Amino acid sequence: LSPDCSFTCHYRCRALVRLDCSGPPGAGDEDDGNEQVLEKDTNVDEPSEWEKTELDQAQVEQRIKEYNSQINSNLFMSLNKDGSYTGFIKVQLKLVRPVSVPATKRVPSLQAGRPHPQGVKRRTSFYLPKGTVKHLHILSHTRASEVIDALLRKFTVIDNPRKFALFERSEKDEQVYLRKLGDDEQPLRLRLLAGPSEKVLSFVLKENETGEVNWDAFTLPELHNFLLILQREEEEHVRRLRHRYARCRQKMQEAL
């Protein structure tokens, strides 16, 4: 059991674990809500202002030139001969729950004289560092669901992709707006239409809404693990609420 992030593993697996963390996301924050977030549109069937915009080939070429002239890096967009285009998107991973990565180890069979034919797949769970970002080089027709799959592969995460969702984030009038992208939406197209400004548009990977996850697709060990995580989250939330009310009560008593 780690004293910093409460990571727990089998004692024989301890030497295989490499962690560099100072606690789970939000540790030490009373409300874990430094950012005032308003979900402007959680209905993926209703297109955003970027999704409603249609461009012909000449407009796409002009937009790419304008985009490349505004960036301060070498992450340019390129127009292909077939009319498609390639470019980079940056995705911030804001995950509040641990993710699972494989830890395959060949172990002997429990029955003497019968060696196990294959290695036993094991999982190691840990919290991704806060503020983790990843640049992806994608095509204009790459879908949001494919971006999620690519991100999970980059970090060797073996959790079901349906646990996660890609959001577009924008800032307007000192307010942050989030909208979950549909599986078939094209992030690079949204990036081109919005321009390179991260305030106008950025991408965030978060956990999917609980009610939208097909829980029947998970195995029994995974479901038991989710229940344990939810129980710990609930206990921590109750602890913070009690601490807040106790402090408020103390201030009132001091005033009296």
Select, from the ranges 19-23, 40-44, 237-241, 249-253, the one with the highest average predicted confidence (pLDDT): 249-253
Q: Contact 39/178 with Cβ under 8 angstroms?
A: yes
| pTM metric for this prediction | 0.61
pLDDT of residue 9: 63
Question: Bridge-partner residues for 78, per DSSP?
Answer: 86
Query: Are residue 143 and residue 222 in the same domain, yes or no?
Result: no
| pLDDT value at 23 more than 70 | no
Query: Are residue 139 and residue 249 in the same domain, yes or no?
Result: no
Average pLDDT over residues 112-139: 70
Domain CATH number, residue 187: 3.10.20.90
Report which of 210, 236, 234 is spatially closest to residue 223, judged by C-alpha positions: 210
Average pLDDT over residues 115-120: 46
- Cα separation, 188 vs 79, in Å, equals 12
| pLDDT value at 246 more than 60 | yes
Instruction: List pLDDT tens digits, range 48-72.
Output: 555 566 778 888 899 999 999 998 8
Query: Are residue 245 and residue 170 in the same domain, yes or no?
Result: no
Q: Is residue 29 part of a domain?
A: no
| pLDDT value at 228 more than 50 | yes
Query: Are residue 173 and residue 234 in the same domain, yes or no?
Result: no
Q: Is residue 189 part of a domain?
A: yes
pLDDT of residue 97: 80
Query: Are residue 200 and residue 185 in the same domain, yes or no?
Result: yes
Q: How many domains does the chain have?
A: 2
Question: Bridge-partner residues for 179, per DSSP?
Answer: 41, 168
Q: Which domain holds residue 244?
A: 216-255
